[in-house]
Amino acid sequence: MPSVCCYFQVHQPCRHRHFTFFDIDRDHRYEDDEKNTVILKKVVEKCYLPANRVMLELVRKYKGDFKVAFSITGIVLEQMEIHCPEVIDGFKRLADTGCVEFLSETYYHSLAFLFSRREFKDQVELHKRNIRRLFGQTPKTFRNTELIYNDDLAREVEKMNYKVILAEGADHVLGWRSPNFIYRPAGCLKLKLLLKNYRLSDDVAFRFSDRKWKESPLVADKYAHWIHQINNSGDVVNLFMDYETFGEHQWEEMGIFDFLRSFPREVLKHPDFRFQTPGEAAEEFEPVAQLSVPHYTSWADMERDLTAWLGNHMQNDAVTVLYSLEKKIRKKKDPEALETWRRLQTSDHLYYMCTKWFADGTVHKYFNPYQSPYDAYINFMNILTDFSNTLEKAGRKHDK
């Protein structure tokens, strides 16, 4: 019996305020609290609250036959607890049903694995503890920031005692293979790998409201028929997407919530199909083969690599300076400085500097609060300069 595995990413960064050269050494407030609150509340009203209500309605309606998974960053959980605790309550009610799995990731939605294994492990542990505190689950499934993945990450995650890891089902990795099976990461003995079916996922996440798309309009019975076509040629259909797909990226007026309400019914009409969480699917199905991914992949853009965050000199300069501060910060043993540094690691700050204005340009513009990637870089480097200067001054005082 093939499974449909739905996983949703929940994340909102803490955006920075306009920080000029003249603010350096004068003002150490980096985040735009007002803007972040306004944006969060907008997304809460358009997506999180109505989507949570629909999810709970579906879980109860199908009496456990509909199941989903969420990965919620620590940085957005902090914002929700302060400004929108009703969203946390909604996720708790979903957790109480026993039909929802909460996944593990880096607390600050960072690229830490690429630059500091120690910081990576610390952030994952922080996130795990927060999920346990809020939702009563100890995650066994891991997804890295933006589904960034390679063989090294898989081996490290297996050492951390996770059972399952998620990744992008990129064509250049799979070749002739199908993303609709479970694989064993190269070099791992127990860890299992679930791959996103990006075509079916992106049909909803990106193409749902595209009236020029040849398959428009996308309705639940048509979509379920595409899923049913993998019967006898796959074990699991992994539908991975941003939770903001529902109501924020795809507006309610376009019918996205009606589609969501009808989707489980149409899938379950086929007697061979059911819904499972990533952990359940991995527990039931065995890997069909080993899969080696020596180079990093992600779920971003057409290339599905790291170029959305590390594709130009500005991004590489910013991230080099950022992680060069680690030794100094850890030596300082100042929790406030460590927290500030970690918040600067949120990958969105690098994403805003992306210069890929071709096929994926619209996606980058949609999320970007800056007029240009150059503006994003200057703002971030001004903040880094101020933060570094603050660390230097504190270090000199400590030495004296």
The pLDDT of residue 325: 97
Choose the final residue of a domain: 240, 258, 291. Answer: 291
Q: Are residues 189 and 259 in the same domain?
A: yes
In a domain, 305, yes or no: no
In a domain, 284, yes or no: yes
In a domain, 159, yes or no: yes
Please report, for the domain that includes residue 95, its CATH number: 3.20.110.20
Largest separation between any pair of C-alpha atoms in the chain = 74
In a domain, 42, yes or no: yes
Rounded Cα distance, 98 and 375, in Å? 46
Q: Are residues 72 and 109 in the same domain?
A: yes
The pLDDT of residue 398: 54
Give residue 13's identity as a one-letter amino acid code. Answer: P
Choose the final residue of a domain: 259, 291, 323. Answer: 291
Q: Are residues 281 and 357 in the same domain?
A: no
Q: Are residues 211 and 357 in the same domain?
A: no
How high is the mean pLDDT in each 10-residue block of the chain (400 residues)? Answer: 97 97 95 96 98 98 97 98 98 98 98 98 98 98 98 98 98 96 98 98 96 96 97 95 96 97 98 98 97 96 93 98 97 95 98 75 64 96 97 66
Choose the final residue of a domain: 236, 262, 291. Answer: 291
The pLDDT of residue 302: 87
Q: Are residues 107 and 249 in the same domain?
A: yes
The pLDDT of residue 393: 82
Q: Are residues 279 and 317 in the same domain?
A: no
The pLDDT of residue 133: 98
In a domain, 299, yes or no: no
Q: To 10 degrees, what angle do helices 85-96 and 49-61 make? A: 10
Q: Are residues 240 and 193 in the same domain?
A: yes
Sequence-distant (≥ 6) Cβ neighbours of residue 13 within 8 angstroms: 75, 109, 346, 348, 349
Rounded Cα distance, 100 and 288, in Å? 26
Rounded Cα distance, 23 and 14, in Å? 19
In a domain, 73, yes or no: yes
The pLDDT of residue 359: 46
Number of domains the chain is built from? 2
In a domain, 304, yes or no: no
Antiparallel, parallel or unpaired: β 68-72 and 236-242 = unpaired
The pLDDT of residue 400: 47
Rounded Cα distance, 400 and 396, in Å? 6
Residue 286's nearest CA partner among 181, 169, 185 is 181
Q: Tell me which residues are annotated as active site.
A: 146
Total residues found in the chain within this entry = 400
Write a three-state SS string for the chain.
CCEEEEEEEECCCCCECCCCHHHCCCCCCCECHHHHHHHHHHHHHHHHHHHHHHHHHHHHHCCCCCCEEEEECHHHHHHHHHHCHHHHHHHHHHHHCCCEEECECCCCCECHHHHCHHHHHHHHHHHHHHHHHHHCCCCCEECCHHHCECHHHHHHHHHCCCCEEEEECCHHHHCCCCCCCCEEECCCCCCEEEEECHHHHHHHHCCCCCCCCCCCCCCHHHHHHHHHCCCCCCCEEEEEEEHHHECCCECHHHCHHHHHHHHHHHHHCCCCCEECCHHHHHHHCCCCCEECCCCCECCCCCCCCCHHHHCCHHHHHHHHHHHHCHHHHHHHCCHHHHHHHHHHCECHHHHCCCCCCCCCHHHHHHHCCCCCHHHHHHHHHHHHHHHHHHHHHHHHHHHC
Q: Are residues 172 and 214 in the same domain?
A: yes
Q: Are residues 260 and 394 in the same domain?
A: no
Q: Are residues 208 and 151 in the same domain?
A: yes
Q: Are residues 383 and 259 in the same domain?
A: no
In a domain, 104, yes or no: yes
User: 204 is written with which tokens?
Assistant: 């909803």
The pLDDT of residue 232: 87
Do residues 110 and 347 touch, judged by C-beta distance below 8 A?
yes
Do residues 291 and 85 touch, judged by C-beta distance below 8 A?
no
**Domain of 340?**
311-399
Q: What angle do CA 96, 99, 102 make, to 5 degrees?
A: 80
Q: Are residues 250 and 112 in the same domain?
A: yes
The pLDDT of residue 356: 81
